[in-house]
Structure 1
Amino acid sequence: MNSDVEIAGDPLALPHLLPEPSAHPGTVAGYAELIGELAADRASWAPLVRYDPTLRWYHRLRTGPGYEVWLLSWLPGQGSGRHDHGRSCGVFGVLEGELTEHGGGGSRVLGSGTLRVFAPGYVHEVVNDGLEPVVSAHVYAPGLTEMPMHCSVGPGTARDSRRDVPA
């Protein structure tokens, strides 16, 4: 016997000794991976999507310890309004179509597969400026309990009202 592997055996051959992988993500990278998995599994979310011409449609896909996942649809012209996510941080990604995000000092177009990470207090507005419907997925940690709305008042922003709608 010349090595630890010869003495103890191959640790990879003993899966019962390894910790079980978590069924739930617990990091920003894990949340991003979750959105990537959703994007790759269109059959799991596409039948759930609805389009509402009067309001943005949203559906909570799942919850886990300390997070929740929402599916949103956006018809042309629909937007979130300028808001933050209270004490929640998160990741959102475009699953299908193209959204425009205004915030963080500028505007950016987010196409399918694009992910955005945000911290608590990050103020932005998301809009479907295109001609086609869009579907996005959003992970909030902790789960979204408030969405303070902001209005533009010159160089800064001021809180306007509170809503409980994911964006």
Structure 2
Amino acid sequence: MIVATGVRADHLSTARRLADNPADWPVAPRFDPVQRWYHRLLAGSGVEAWLLTWLPGQETDLHDHGGSAGAFVVVAGRLTERTVTGPDGSAALTGRVLSAGAARQFGEHHVHQIVNAGPEPAVSVHVYGPELTTMTRYRFQHGRLLVAAVDRAGAQW
């Protein structure tokens, strides 16, 4: 694991730098047919980064990042990001497909789901700041977000 130094991080630049240099990763990506595989690449000074792999059909729940902003880069394959749009009282899910090389930056109130809806495995790098302490998982029902669970770092991941 790399230890980050410095002040406020540019999450997108950090994600691109890590994604562009897989030879610097402390581990090679692995694929687990039972659950998504992940490994922390970077930690410290208010920022962390994760390497994730996605087999076809693997996905996250609809979730936020507990007040952390972030960015991610698709290193290989293709991922679909579904985001919540609309006012608080009524919302909709919209999706976009991100191919290898595509990146996405988001603020601290971003709610999304990521899925590998394609036929090929995918790899991505995700950067968050400050470090993740909680993530809220949601259900989307009748145009509204309902809290399903709150996961805590060190307990659920």
TM-score by length of 2: 0.83
Taking a change above 3 Å as real, the CA distance of residues 23 and 146 of structure 1, as seen in their structure-2 partners, is: closer
Contact 2:64–2:110 (8 Å) recurs in 1: yes
Give the root-mean-square deviation of aligned CA atoms.
2.0
Structure with the largest fraction of strand: 2
Work out whether 1:113 is the aligned partner of 2:101. Answer: yes
Match of 1:55 among 28, 35, 39: 35
Which aligned pairs between 1:2-151 and structure 2 lie closer than 5 A? 23-24=5-6, 26-27=8-9, 30-45=10-25, 47-105=27-85, 106-151=94-139
Contact 1:68–1:143 (8 Å) recurs in 2: yes
Work out the CA distance in 2 between the residues paired with 1:47 and 1:119. Answer: 28
Gaps of 5+ in 2: 86-93
Bigger Rg, which one? 1
Work out the CA distance in 1 between the residues paired with 2:151 and 2:75. Answer: 24
Work out the CA distance in 2 between the residues paired with 1:52 and 1:62. Answer: 22
Gaps of 5+ in 1: 1-21
Work out the CA distance in 2 between the residues paired with 1:100 and 1:38. Answer: 21
